[in-house]
Structure 1
Amino acid sequence: MTPDEHVVLVDADGNAIGTAPKAAVHGTDTPLHLAFSSYVFDRNGRVLLSRRALHKLTWPGVWTNSCCGHPLPGEPLPDAVVRRLSYELGLRVDRVDLLLPRFSYRAVMDNGIVERELCPVYRAVVSAEAAPNADEVDDVRWAPWKEFADDVLHNGMAISPWCREQLPHLDGLGPDPLLWPAADPADLPPAAR
């Protein structure tokens, strides 16, 4: 994160209402802002899980989906997904598809820090191994999708709160993540179109 990196603030209907420095929006009174979550899959349908760097402000050291981030003001969300996957995981993406255009969540850490995001969810398909950036990612591992989803949904696997909320929606798309139908970008909130 650069010191002047800004995020897009949004209202409850997903309209952009301004920007704020990224460093200033994650606290005990976090405003709703635009973000994304991505799930990286290889050609065998395995999902890449990442463990957040231990010095992260929110959920340090917690296992989660492949990559999350914030689009820069005016940056199309698919471009933000590609940019962050390259930066955080050293990945070149073969394909990016929108899956959950209007996912939103609010989560509170034990120390009172709040994450509050309008967070469309994407699938990315890659054909290479990750090269994690230690500033962002502590560890990565590949897991068969069904095994991972079952571990979270039925066996209480510890995972980030946003990933836990996204999984029932993704699981409902079918057993093969490579065959999940892409959502219509017209269904994105206005700030993300």
Structure 2
Amino acid sequence: MTDNDEPVVLLDSQHRPIGTAPKATVHTTDTPLHLAFSSYLLNDEGELLLTRRALSKVAWPGVWTNSACGHPLPDEAPADAARRRCRYELGVEIHDVTLLLPDFAYRAQDASGIVENEFCPVFSARCAGDLHLRPSEVMDSRWVSSGDLLTAVAATPWAFSPWMVAQLQRLQAEGITESWPGLA
């Protein structure tokens, strides 16, 4: 099974599973609501990993975003999906996975007309080891301080993925960006 053949869990308006569809068919100009996750990785210096989406991505190619995103497989817990996708996209193991926003959802349309429509729990995690980026997923990455990231997103929100901008606004409003979990 290729990455584009993986099933994406489709959801009803109450965020209950109602079926699956191949990933390659889900992201269109009329994307159905589906299950996803977002993750923010932290290093030992307390920096966050930003990634730049590969130019071959269907939605938001070349845009800077949070560390890793993806879709849980049927019957896969979102935290387990985050571990799997961090291994796949970033070539790294993660630990201390912490659920930050259990009920985050958004809908956004990129310049090409492709829509994201996701119920998307948000996690933080610690990064264990060096990154080994998969070029088909990530074209670049940077470790940044939380303060620098918040300043950049406030000044130029259009330069970042809309889901990350919305997630950071909620995380900041809830005081989570002051002391990210796992940075004891």
TM-score interval, normalised by the smaller of the two chains: over 0.9
**Per-residue deviation, 1:4:** 2.9
C-alpha displacement of 1:170: 1.2
Match for residue 148 of structure 1? 149
Identical columns (%): 50
CA shift, 1:128, in A, is: 2.1
- Is 1:35 paired with 2:36? yes
Matched, 1:48 2:55: no
Q: What is residue 176 of structure 1 aligned with on the other side?
A: 179
Q: What amino acid maps onto 1:46 in structure 2?
A: E
Match of 1:86 in 2: 87
Partners of 1:168 and 1:137 lie apart in 2 by: 24
Amino acid at match of 1:45: G
2:9 counterpart of 1:4:
no
Contact 2:126 2:182 in 1 (8 A): no
State the AA in 1 paired with 2:119. Answer: L
| Change beyond 3 A, Cα 1:146–1:92 | same
CA distance in 2, matches of 1:39, 1:29: 28
Q: Which residue pairs with 1:139 in the alignment? A: 140
Paired residues of 1:45 and 1:176 also in contact (CA < 8 A) = no
Structure 1 residue ranges without an equivalent (≥5): 181-193
| Runs of 5+ unmatched residues, structure 2 | none
- TM-score for the superposition, normalised by structure 1: 0.88
2:90–2:134 Cα contact (<8 Å) kept: yes
The answer to whether the 8 Å contact 1:43/1:127 transfers is no
| Aligned alpha-carbon RMSD (Å) | 1.4
Which segment is superposed worse, 170-179 or 60-69?
A: 170-179
